[in-house]
Structure 1
């Protein structure tokens, strides 16, 4: 697997790169956002590791926003910023995980592999496997391999977080998820403790589904519990 890592501390990057190579993870390092963009286009990585604070006044958040618009790659925010609000901001921008420096090399390797497993990027999939990664619920079609969502012929512009939440709900029509359970199953344990951000993701999902031409309510609120995907919507 291949990873592009934007990190300005060269010595640390070299140490991490050597370790991850032993774990069959190939790392390509960049020190600026521009370098990272060029590397992604050239190397076609499976995921990104993004340092928040970069030299010259740059921010890794710029690369995260660019990724959301153009690549849709899974990414881990790697930073010395440990404030809760910083973590919430990174997660809401679509981060699949958040690592606060300093951290252990084994933990880094484990988190990379966990994100790749969760997002389906960590293994080669044949045509039969790809077919299993498509969910059709009435007029809604979700493709996990391509990370695309469509209502009839209208493509929905979803963030990675929104897609993963919708995928989990649509894969289990009628099942009620508590907020904690939904965040855990869809996004992993890094999100536990940020349940309050779930409501904003659900609002955005509902708005985008409505704007895309949804003819019924796909996501229902179960008051005092959480959310579920409407069974009637699944039947189309």
Structure 2
């Protein structure tokens, strides 16, 4: 976990905000809370959080809309969505908005802490200040991945936004070219053992990556699906 990391908890339930604020404060985090998207934006205007925990179901502007705004305006802030247990649609949409992870309610505080630590670790690694370099880049379809700088660039040299988990997946593929990897292997190699075996989040992230790197996402040629196994990064 990064030094004195700052966490923003956005939820319309006062009791939950209080519980999370106290719990994470005891874990050494600087915690801010907000009861709405409006209050959350006010926090962002004063101090940029390292990570935001957003409840999807809030009166007025919901967490999905707020997540979209955060990802557009503050791409280096991590996002964890709190979803209703079993609501696959919320999870899918949240990941589509660029969330790094999600945790279904009700949740165990220790599990949420583990997810927070994981996202903060990856975000810290991915946002180390340094200038991009042409060396150490790998071609992924219409894009180039700079492994050292943790950045993805399009054919015009413009940086394309990607979540920490998306980078982890591309790094795994870069280190294992032309090899079919199943979901368990991808999670293991990407250091995400806390993701459930039956969790389809890998598929969702592959879909999002294809939209960024494939010439034709509907007919992927860079990250191919290997029937009955998983996925393969094809270099030729």
Q: 2:209 aligns with which of 189, 205, 217?
A: 205
The structural deviation recorded for 1:25 is 1.0
> Secondary structure at 1:99's aligned position in 2?
strand
**TM-score normalised by structure 2 residue count:** 0.74
Whose helix proportion is higher, 1 or 2? 1
Q: Deviations over 1:100-152 (max 9, x none)?
A: 333333333222112222x242799586xx99xx9511475334687531145
The structural deviation recorded for 1:65 is 1.6
1:190 alignment partner in structure 2: 195
Q: 1:101 aligns with which of 101, 105, 108?
A: 105
> Secondary structure at 2:114's aligned position in 1?
helix
Cα distance in 2 for residues equivalent to 1:109 and 1:201: 22
1:137 alignment partner in structure 2: 138
Q: Deviations over 1:49-94 (max 9, x none)?
A: 0011213x33111111222322233211124x11242333333433
Q: 1:82 aligns with which of 81, 85, 110?
A: 85
Contact 2:95 2:204 in 1 (8 A): no
Point out where structure 2 has 5 or more consecutive residues left out of the alignment. Answer: none
Structure 1 residues 91, 36: closer, same or farther in 2, change over 3 A? same
1:31 alignment partner in structure 2: 35
Contact 2:10 2:17 in 1 (8 A): no
Written as runs of structure 1 = structure 2, the 5 A alignment for 1:21-60 is 21-55=25-59, 57-60=60-63
Cα distance in 2 for residues equivalent to 1:205 and 1:126: 24
The structural deviation recorded for 1:29 is 0.8
Contact 1:87 1:98 in 2 (8 A): yes
Segments ≥4 residues shifted beyond 6 Å: none
> Secondary structure at 1:29's aligned position in 2?
strand
Contact 1:88 1:194 in 2 (8 A): no
The structural deviation recorded for 1:201 is 4.4
Contact 1:98 1:190 in 2 (8 A): no
Contact 2:64 2:93 in 1 (8 A): no
Aligned length: 222
Cα distance in 1 for residues equivalent to 2:169 and 2:127: 23
1:64 alignment partner in structure 2: 67
**TM-score normalised by structure 1 residue count:** 0.74
Point out where structure 1 has 5 or more consecutive residues left out of the alignment. Answer: none
Q: 1:177 aligns with which of 181, 188, 196?
A: 181
Structure 1 residues 8, 221: closer, same or farther in 2, change over 3 A? closer
